[in-house]
């Protein structure tokens, strides 16, 4: 327990023996990102069992790994009423019985690996960007104090979302153009064969078709996502304990089992209730999901309309010999998308009603998975962090100990 006055301004990381890199230690952001991505995917699948439609994990999954399994399942139809046969475990069990265990590595694992890879890129990019923009975050400590500002986490999320969008472009192109009939008719035996053939056929111009809209959605959505998460988790929690414990009298603090009395100024040293920080972590996940959906939900509506004409653009691009002509066609495709969405908006009673239809249902479905994923992300980040001195926030009536 730290009673030294020097600890009250924050925490100073201890440098492990044999490490002389200015107290920062080895950067473990890649390990944190990869493990958090995998654990987040598993957590999201468990939560999805309780919903008719799979819950979107963290952000919307780039590739639906159960799409082909549902397409060949006779119990899974759009007009059918929900039953236990439509849950993910039941669908998997049916497809294994009919297609054999080879279905999992051939058809299920490729999109699962792709989603985990994209999630790892997002987490790792965010941690590296935050470390560059906020020096205390680069120390890899369990508790960053002082915490980064909203502007800092917003910028780090903006960078991470842009990097994620770049690496996710090939997977987006595959998902948009995927047709179950291509595999059912024997054109492609596995997802591996399908991915290789499709990427070769559409070329770089097809892979990055619609990339501008996807880049904006991912980068701005991730910026608000991480900005809201870090603000509620850190600044919100610290401000709450300051106001709650700082407003209480000295006698009330002594009656609430203060840990000890500071020998220097006689103020009691207290530790916040153990349930407070996890509660703020859960609230941060809900806030992050809501903030990102405000940006991503309407852009997804526009993106879905734009993606419907990509296959026609692929054919036209193959007929075009000049690169400038190809770019012109993709540019005009954006204009056509806007005109089509404008017509749909008028039919639905305005842009807001059109772009935000089904907003609350989609957001509520995503919240449990998002909160679980962020809690796992934070736990893994702290697991790989270095132990540091305890943080003490000094207030007029007491010292608040954060462990």
Q: What string of DSSP letters covers 33-67? A: HHHHHHHHHHHHHHHHTTSSSPPPPSSPPSS-TTH
Residue 321 CB burial class (10 angstroms; 0-12, 13-18, ≥19): exposed
Task: Confirm whether 32 is domain-assigned.
Answer: yes
Q: What is the pLDDT of residues 150-200, one digit of tens each?
A: 999 999 999 999 999 999 988 888 877 776 656 666 666 777 888 888 888
Kindly indicate the confidence band of residue 80, based on its pLDDT and cuts at 50, 70 and 90.
low
What does the pLDDT average to over 257-278?
75
How is residue 259 annotated by DSSP? S
Closest CA to 107 of 157, 143, 69: 69
Phi, psi of 27 (to 5 degrees): -75, 115
Number of domains the chain is built from: 1
* Among 34-48, 132-146, 244-258, the range of highest mean pLDDT: 132-146
Task: Confirm whether 368 is domain-assigned.
Answer: yes
Q: Is the peptide bond before 146 cis (omega within 30 degrees of 0)?
A: yes
Long-range (24+ apart) CB contacts under 8 A made by 282-285 are 282/371, 282/375, 283/232, 283/236, 284/228, 284/229, 284/230, 284/231, 284/232, 284/233, 284/236, 284/374, 285/229, 285/367, 285/370, 285/371, 285/372, 285/373, 285/374, 285/375
Position 58 scores a pLDDT of: 42
Kindly indicate the confidence band of residue 354, based on its pLDDT and cuts at 50, 70 and 90.
very high
What does the pLDDT average to over 333-346?
88
Helix (H) / strand (E) containing 181: helix 180-184
Q: What is the pLDDT of residues 88-113, one digit of tens each?
A: 788 888 888 888 888 888 888 888 88
Exposure b/e, 268-278, CB count within 10 A at least 16 = b: bbbbbeeeebe
Q: What is the DSSP string of 149-161?
A: PHHHHHHHHHHHH
Position 167 scores a pLDDT of: 92
Task: Tell me the residue range of the domain where 89 lies.
Answer: 5-16+25-287+364-402
Task: Confirm whether 140 is domain-assigned.
Answer: yes
**Residue 210 has which token pair?**
């619609």
Higher pLDDT, 353 or 361: 353
């Amino acid at each position: 327990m730290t009673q030294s006055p020097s600890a009250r301004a924050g925490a100073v990381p201890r440098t492990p023996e044999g490490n002389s890199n200015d107290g920062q230690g080895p950067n473990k952001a890649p390990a944190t990102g990869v493990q958090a991505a995998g654990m987040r995917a598993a957590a999201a699948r468990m939560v999805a069992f309780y919903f008719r439609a799979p819950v979107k994990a963290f952000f919307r999954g780039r590739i639906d790994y159960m799409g082909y399994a549902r397409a060949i399942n006779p119990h899974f139809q759009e007009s059918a009423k929900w039953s236990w046969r439509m849950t993910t475990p039941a669908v998997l069990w049916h497809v294994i019985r009919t297609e054999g265990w080879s279905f999992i590595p051939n058809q299920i694992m490729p999109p699962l690996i792709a989603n985990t890879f994209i999630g790892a890129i997002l987490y790792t990019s965010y941690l590296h960007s935050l470390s560059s923009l906020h020096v205390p975050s680069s120390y890899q400590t369990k508790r960053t104090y002082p915490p980064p500002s909203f502007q800092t986490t917003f910028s780090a999320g903006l960078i991470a979302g842009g990097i994620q969008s770049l690496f996710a472009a090939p997977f987006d192109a595959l998902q948009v153009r995927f047709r179950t009939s291509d595999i059912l008719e024997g054109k492609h035996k596995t997802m591996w064969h399908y991915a290789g053939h499709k990427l070769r056929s559409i070329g770089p111009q097809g892979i990055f078709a619609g990339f501008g809209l996807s880049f904006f959605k991912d980068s701005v959505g991730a910026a608000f996502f991480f900005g809201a998460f870090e603000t509620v988790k850190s600044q919100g929690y610290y401000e709450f304990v300051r106001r709650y414990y700082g407003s209480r009298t000295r006698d009330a603090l002594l009656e609430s089992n203060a840990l000890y009395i500071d020998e220097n100024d006689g103020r009691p040293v207290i530790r916040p209730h153990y349930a407070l920080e996890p509660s703020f972590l859960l609230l941060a996940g809900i806030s992050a999901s809501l903030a990102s959906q405000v940006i991503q939900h309407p852009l997804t509506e526009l993106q879905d309309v734009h993606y419907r004409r990509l296959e026609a653009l692929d054919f036209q691009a193959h007929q075009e010999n000049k690169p400038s002509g190809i770019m012109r066609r993709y540019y005009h495709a954006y204009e056509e998308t806007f005109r089509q969405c404008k017509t749909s908006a008028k039919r639905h009673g305005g842009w807001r009603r059109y772009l935000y239809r089904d907003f609350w249902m989609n957001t509520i479905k995503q919240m449990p998975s998002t909160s679980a994923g962020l809690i796992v992300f934070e736990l893994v980040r702290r697991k790989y962090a270095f132990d540091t001195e305890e943080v003490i926030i000094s207030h007029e009536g007491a010292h608040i100990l954060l462990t």
